[in-house]
Structure formats: structure tokens, C-alpha cells
């Protein structure tokens, strides 16, 4: 299982049995996620995840919920440059959503609903032949920007469920 954020995280892991399924795709691990803007990057640490994988005759689900860490060291970014969320998984996500917040409350949670980013999703084939997906968007010109990101994929191993990851990012204007 993936290494989780250093923030206090509570895990609830459950195994669910389903009908027999063949393990035909390599979909058993959540993907690596990196937020990038020219000159800097921040690794995505999932604070919430719901991931199902085929394990021989059964489907195994791992569910983890924790506390998002928006106060981690900020990635520097120039608002005139786009922000890119790199999703290192060959399957196209069903959905990628990003909410942009300008402030945190005293508990470290984003204030208000935030503005939804308009995302352009495209694929890219790396030099090694591996396909990844990139969600590109722009942020407002503010001193600090706190992002809530969610990516959802359809399972391709035959379990017929959605898999999701939630991330928290912190950006600081250059």
C-alpha cells in the first residue's frame, strides 16, 4: 500500500469479496500524482482513497480517510503560468476536479466553497512508452492558493467499481 501523508491519518481497511475476476490489467496500485508548474513541483499525498483491486478470485478494497494537510510547505508558482496535475496511470480518469481556495480557517481547512478550476485533460506518452494523463488549469493571482483535488477512475480489473483519490496542495505566488 502507498505511503501516506505524515499528517495524522486514520485508516479503515476492509476486504470485500465479489464474483471471480481475472486480473488482466495492472490497476492494483493507486497512481503517483505530482502537481507541477515551471520551476517547482509538489508530490501528491492522498488524504482519502478508495481503491479496489482484483486478487485472484476476489476483489479487495482498501479505504483510507485522513486529515488533509494544506499547511505543508508551499510549492512556488507564477500565476501567469498554468498549473499541471500529472496522473501517472495509463487509464484515462473518469473525472478530475480541482477546487481553488484563497484562505484556510483556524483549523487549517479551506474557507468557503472555493472556485472550481476549468481543466483541460490530455494524455502524454513518456520516453519509455508509458502513457500518463495531465490535467492543466490556471489559478487566480493570489499570494497563497490551496487546492483540493479529486481524481476518479473506473476499475479495469473486472471489479466494476470506481476508484478515487483526494489530495491537498499548497501554492505560494513567486
Q: What is the mean pLDDT of residues 129-149?
A: 97
Domain ranges within the chain, ordered by starting residue: 32-43+70-173
- Please count the CA atoms within 13 angstroms of the CA of 58 that sit on its side-chain side: 6
pLDDT at 45 over 80: yes
How much is the pTM? 0.83
Closest CA to 171 of 2, 38, 25, 63: 38
For residue 168, what is its C-alpha cell?
Answer: 491537498
Per the structure block, which three cell numbers stand in for 60? 479487495
Q: Please name the CATH architecture into which domain 32-43+70-173 falls.
A: Sandwich (2.60)
CA atoms of 29 and 65, how far apart (whole Å): 17
Q: What is the pLDDT of residue 9?
A: 33
Predicted local confidence at residue 27, as pLDDT:
63
Q: What is the C-alpha radius of gyration for the chain, rounded to an integer number of angstroms?
A: 17
Nine cell digits for residue 47? 488524504
pLDDT tens per residue across span 150-169 = 999 998 888 889 999 999 99
| Antiparallel, parallel or unpaired: β 162-173 and 75-77 | parallel
Q: Span 12-32, mean pLDDT? A: 48
pLDDT at residue number 149: 98
Of 63, 148, 41, give the one whose Cα is nearest residue 102.
Answer: 148
Q: Does 5 score more than 70 pLDDT? A: no
Chain segment 78-119, per-residue pLDDT in tens: 999 999 999 999 999 999 999 999 999 999 999 999 999 999
User: For residue 121, which of 145, 155, 87 has the smallest C-alpha distance?
Assistant: 87
For residue 28, the model assigns a pLDDT of 73
Handedness of CA 43, 48, 114, 133 (dihedral sign): positive
All cell numbers assigned to 69: 494537510
Give residue 67's pLDDT: 94
Mean pLDDT, the chain, rounded, equals 85
Amino acid at each position: 500500500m502507498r505511503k501516506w501523508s505524515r499528517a495524522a491519518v486514520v485508516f479503515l481497511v476492509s476486504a470485500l469479496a465479489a464474483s471471480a475476476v481475472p486480473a488482466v490489467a495492472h490497476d492494483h496500485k493507486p497512481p503517483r500524482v505530482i502537481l507541477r508548474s515551471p520551476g517547482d513541483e509538489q508530490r501528491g499525498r492522498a488524504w482519502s482513497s478508495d481503491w479496489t483491486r482484483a486478487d485472484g478470485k476476489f476483489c479487495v478494497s482498501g479505504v483510507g480517510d485522513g486529515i488533509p494537510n494544506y499547511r505543508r510547505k508551499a510549492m512556488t508558482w507564477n500565476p501567469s503560468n498554468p498549473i499541471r496535475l500529472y496522473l501517472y496511470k495509463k487509464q484515462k480518469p473518469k473525472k478530475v476536479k480541482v477546487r481553488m481556495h484563497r484562505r484556510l480557517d483556524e483549523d487549517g481547512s479551506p474557507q468557503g466553497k472555493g472556485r472550481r478550476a476549468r481543466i483541460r485533460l490530455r494524455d502524454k506518452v513518456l520516453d519509455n512508452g508509458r502513457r500518463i494523463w495531465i490535467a492543466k488549469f490556471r489559478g487566480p493571482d493570489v499570494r497563497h492558493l490551496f487546492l483540493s483535488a479529486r481524481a476518479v477512475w473506473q476499475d479495469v480489473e473486472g471489479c466494476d467499481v470506481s476508484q478515487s483519490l483526494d489530495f491537498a496542495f499548497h501554492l505560494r505566488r513567486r
